[in-house]
Amino acid sequence: PKFDLEALLDGLNPPQRQAVLHDGGPVVVVAGAGSGKTRVLTRRIAYLVGERKVHPGSILAITFTNKAAAEMRHRVMDLVGNRAKLMWVSTFHSACVRILRAEISRFGMNRTFSIYDDADSKRLMQLVARDLDLDPKRFGVRTIMNWVSNCKNDLVDHDSARARVNGPDEERFLEAYQEYQRRLVAANALDFDDLIMTTVHLFQAFPEVREQYRRRFRHVLVDEYQDTNHAQYALIRELCGSELAAQDGRPEQREADPPELMVVGDSDQSIYAFRGATIRNILDFESDFAGASTIVLDQNYRSTQTVLNAANAVITKNEGRPDKRLWTDAGDGDLIVGYVADSEHDEAQFVAGEIDKLSDDGKSRYADCAVFYRTNAQSRPFEEVFIRVGLPYKVVGGVRFYERREVRDAIAYLRAINNRDDDVSVRRILNVPRRGIGDRAEGAVEELAREKRISFGEALRRIDEINGLATRSAKQLRLFVDFLDAHEKMVAEGQPADQILTSVLTESGYLAELQGSTDPQDETRMENLVELVAVAREFVAGTVGVEAELEPAALPGALPDDFDITAELDLAGGAPEPDPSLGAFLERVALVADSDQIPSNDADDAGVVTLMTLHTAKGLEFDTVFLTGLEDGVFPHQRSLTDQVELAEERRLAYVGLTRARKRLYLSRAAVRAAWGAPQHNPPSRFLGDIPDRLVDWRRTESALTSWRNSSATSSRQSSGRQSWNSQPSRPRPTEREIPSLAAGDKVLHPTFGLGKVVATSGADDNAKADVDFGSAGLKRLALRYAPLQKL
């Protein structure tokens, strides 16, 4: 096929052309969202192959979206056919795996090394911590792992980590790092962070290997450069730096000219600081790479001016950023649609309704709609509503809610309690969290079960009949059985599902384990469990009616005291069966999970709606974008409210989210959001406040909501929920719980906010409240009747 340069350059503005045609020294393309950075990389690759006759095998392109990777391959395929396959288009991690598979024998490891994922690494670190006798209360495995991960992202290996040890705790971290690494090597395994660090170390230890790759990759292109961490930066330096030969002091090692390097990025879109990414990499590019030049793009081709104005308004609030403003000649387009929902269910329903309307009107196919939220757990109400109304969707990045490990574990607990003969569930949780019931003990119980032809759970009750069981194991097994028995009793007493679940999570130690960890993943797990409790609570509330207790009352936008959540739930969820029992809850969960599997109906090629977190949305674009959960404490995230650095990162995340929209942007929040303990009343996100009102068509506002609520509160009082509850007087009120008696000075534990100290108390009995200082999570007023506070 003949290469047509004019066709390739067609549809590029002058600075874009300049970048595509650039020849020679390192270049960074810095530009705001949607200005064609990824397009430039894609076209440049085609230009290199088509015009400059560069061999595809000498191109290394680091990308993050499948779409971009596919387009790069496709274009090169069109030009040179199958040789396109020799081009490397991948993420940093997979590029490193390829290099290591070829070279790692130089470090004495086998090329068939395995890659440990998060769970594997954690298991290994647990073993290490145990063998080093690290007190788990003081040295959480996650804390150790984070320390190690930070070291690796900074290229500090276990031999050189001593230099950064600070204090006796880190002495122990270091020991753990060394032992962990020793065992990784013994297992011929690398963890995720090792992939990058080891590749850099390989290049440093064997300059001839580095030279070989420098000769191979004559062109290195990196998308989303703002999200590189130090190790990734160093890797690029090794491959493309120009001062390396002198540095090695090996004059005989004559280097070829360094490869041509082009990186593109936007410091306003840096959103991975928690993985060690640093904006400095893009800001310092010119000083890091000799002879580097910068190309700036400022025309946006993705969005309407309205969308851009909103995005600009939000990001300009960040300090210390180079001022850049995006413009477009696409025109103003539609106003942004704003919506204040009553609850997260109402929000999901609104979104579903709008998507349906857009699709019916032929304005936006399902495939052109995306729903974004801050944390994975927030997909749940959308999934439930979409399933119910039959809106096809897929959740991108992150496992579907009911398939997530922690959710499955929690459900397994409930199933085991509900049905002791459910062997799969009982065994799943037998040693989760770890309670010292090993394979031997499990095997012995299994043996008894087989011999007596009873279920595993039944055999657990008869462990006295097992000979030769270690005392410790026997004791742990008994405790486990007691735990199950106690909860079975709760079921028999007719206690509602949410209370049983809460009790299970706390009493089993499951929460405590997550709580003790500083890994962001475990924080997500915690959020998912909080969400699951909210599901259960809502389920129970939907069946029996529950009063909303407010927390904290002083927040702006708080609801009136006589607010009745039954009305909201009836509106959102229809009228479920009046049965708050555990069995009914499990049935409901099973049904939702089952319908999850139904393949989307895209016969008319409308595709499916995409649900994803804001982090996953990076680099993508959709005609219609729903940015949801815009509440302070949700987005921006709770932690960031008291931390300027984190808040700046949340703001960049908001900028990423807003700029994904091509034609239509919806911003929504929920006035009440189900949460652990009590429904949360979060104030509107500060990001909403930054967006000029003239850009937004508020379909429903807080004030409309309040008047509607006031008028409906009275009527819903007498309606179904409460009555159906009263008609089953044998069961206790669903949200009733032991109210801990607290006094100022007491220490408490809250599953979401963590450790806190009571500063004041007020009210009595059912109205008892406590003001608790949760440190970085802030000062909270909690209703003791609802808040799952544990007195320490």
Binding residues for ATP, by number, are: 31-38
Selected binder of Mg ion within 19, 22, 35, 38 (CB under 5 A):
38
Indicate whether 302 belongs to the interface with ligand ATP (CB under 6 A). yes
Selected binder of ligand ATP within 9, 12, 749, 779 (CB under 6 A):
12
Indicate whether 15 belongs to the interface with ligand ATP (CB under 6 A). no
Task: Report, in Å, the least distance between residue 41 CB and ligand ATP.
Answer: 8
* Candidates 33-41, 115-123, 236-244, 487-495; binding stretch for ligand ATP (CB under 6 A): 33-41
Indicate whether 13 belongs to the interface with ligand ATP (CB under 6 A). yes
Selected binder of ligand ATP within 11, 136, 390, 775 (CB under 6 A):
11
Selected binder of Mg ion within 56, 619, 633, 756 (CB under 5 A):
619
Q: Which residues are annotated as a binding site?
A: 31-38
Interaction partner, residue 302 (Mg ion, ligand ATP, none; CB < 5-8 Å by kind): ligand ATP
Task: Report, in Å, the least distance between residue 309 CB and ligand ATP.
Answer: 17
Closest CA to 750 of 722, 729, 778: 778
Is residue 309 within 8 A of residue 695, CB to CB? The reply is: yes
Closest CA to 338 of 386, 306, 361, 364: 306
Interaction partner, residue 34 (ligand ATP, Mg ion, none; CB < 5-8 Å by kind): ligand ATP
Number of residues counted as binding Mg ion (CB under 5 A): 3
Task: Report, in Å, the least distance between residue 314 CB and ligand ATP.
Answer: 15
Indicate whether 38 belongs to the interface with ligand ATP (CB under 6 A). yes
User: Nearer to Mg ion by C-beta: 477 or 661?
Assistant: 661
Record the tokens describing residue 688, joined without a space: 């909403």
SS3 of 103-135 = HHHHHCCCCCCEEECHHHHHHHHHHHHHHCCCC
User: Nearer to ligand ATP by C-beta: 269 or 305?
Assistant: 269
User: Nearer to Mg ion by C-beta: 36 or 636?
Assistant: 36
Indicate whether 226 belongs to the interface with Mg ion (CB under 5 A). no
User: Nearer to Mg ion by C-beta: 38 or 502?
Assistant: 38
CB atoms within 10 A of CB 55: 15
Indicate whether 31 belongs to the interface with ligand ATP (CB under 6 A). yes
Supply the DSSP symbol for 219: E
Interaction partner, residue 637 (ligand ATP, Mg ion, none; CB < 5-8 Å by kind): none
Indicate whether 721 belongs to the interface with Mg ion (CB under 5 A). no
φ/ψ of 253, rounded to 5, equals -85, 70
Calculate the alpha carbon distances from 577 to 158, 536, 539 in Å. 58, 14, 10
Cβ contacts of 560 within 8 Å, gap of 6 or more: 706, 709, 710, 713
Supply the DSSP symbol for 633: B
Amino acid at 280: R
CA–CA–CA angle 711, 715, 717 (5° rounding): 120
Indicate whether 35 belongs to the interface with ligand ATP (CB under 6 A). yes
Interaction partner, residue 545 (ligand ATP, Mg ion, none; CB < 5-8 Å by kind): none
Closest CA to 476 of 512, 508, 515, 517: 508
Residue 198 to residue 239: CA distance in whole angstroms: 14
Task: Report, in Å, the least distance between residue 76 CB and ligand ATP.
Answer: 17
SS3 734: coil
Interaction partner, residue 266 (ligand ATP, Mg ion, none; CB < 5-8 Å by kind): ligand ATP
Closest CA to 584 of 550, 542, 616: 542
Residue 349 to residue 381: CA distance in whole angstroms: 9
Task: Report, in Å, the least distance between residue 644 CB and ligand ATP.
Answer: 24
Report how far apart the first and last C-alpha atoms of the chain are (Å, whole number). 74
Residue 677 to residue 782: CA distance in whole angstroms: 9
Interaction partner, residue 96 (Mg ion, ligand ATP, none; CB < 5-8 Å by kind): none
When CB distances to ligand ATP are compared, the closest residue is 36
Contacts with Mg ion, 455-494, as mask; x by CB under 5 A: ----------------------------------------
* Candidates 10-18, 320-328, 338-346, 379-387; binding stretch for ligand ATP (CB under 6 A): 10-18
Closest CA to 296 of 273, 267, 270: 267
Residue 792 to residue 790: CA distance in whole angstroms: 6
Contacts with ligand ATP, 598-627, as mask; x by CB under 6 A: ---------------------x-x------
* Candidates 30-38, 236-244, 470-478, 743-751; binding stretch for Mg ion (CB under 5 A): 30-38
The helix (run of H) or strand (run of E) holding residue 461 is helix 456-461
Indicate whether 307 belongs to the interface with ligand ATP (CB under 6 A). no
Indicate whether 268 belongs to the interface with ligand ATP (CB under 6 A). no
Cβ contacts of 472 within 8 Å, gap of 6 or more: 436
Interaction partner, residue 473 (Mg ion, ligand ATP, none; CB < 5-8 Å by kind): none
User: Nearer to ligand ATP by C-beta: 565 or 617?
Assistant: 617
Task: Report, in Å, the least distance between residue 228 CB and ligand ATP.
Answer: 15
Task: Report, in Å, the least distance between residue 86 CB and ligand ATP.
Answer: 24
Closest CA to 143 of 517, 514, 639, 515: 517
Residue 734 to residue 581: CA distance in whole angstroms: 10
The helix (run of H) or strand (run of E) holding residue 59 is strand 59-62
Instruction: Render the burial of 410-426: b for 16+ CB within 10 Å, e for the rest.
Output: bbbbbbbbbbbebbebb
User: Nearer to ligand ATP by C-beta: 12 or 77?
Assistant: 12
CA–CA–CA angle 291, 200, 84 (5° rounding): 75
Instruction: Render the burial of 316-346: b for 16+ CB within 10 Å, e for the rest.
Output: bebeebeebebebebeebeebbbbbbbbbbb
Return the active site residues.
37-38, 223-224, 269, 660
Selected binder of ligand ATP within 8, 30, 33, 511 (CB under 6 A):
33
Interaction partner, residue 12 (ligand ATP, Mg ion, none; CB < 5-8 Å by kind): ligand ATP
Indicate whether 266 belongs to the interface with ligand ATP (CB under 6 A). yes
Selected binder of ligand ATP within 301, 366, 386, 666 (CB under 6 A):
301
Indicate whether 279 belongs to the interface with ligand ATP (CB under 6 A). no
Closest CA to 113 of 105, 124, 122, 121: 105
Site for Mg ion, rule CB under 5 A? 37-38, 619
Site for ligand ATP, rule CB under 6 A? 11-13, 16, 31, 33-39, 266, 269, 301-302, 619, 621, 659
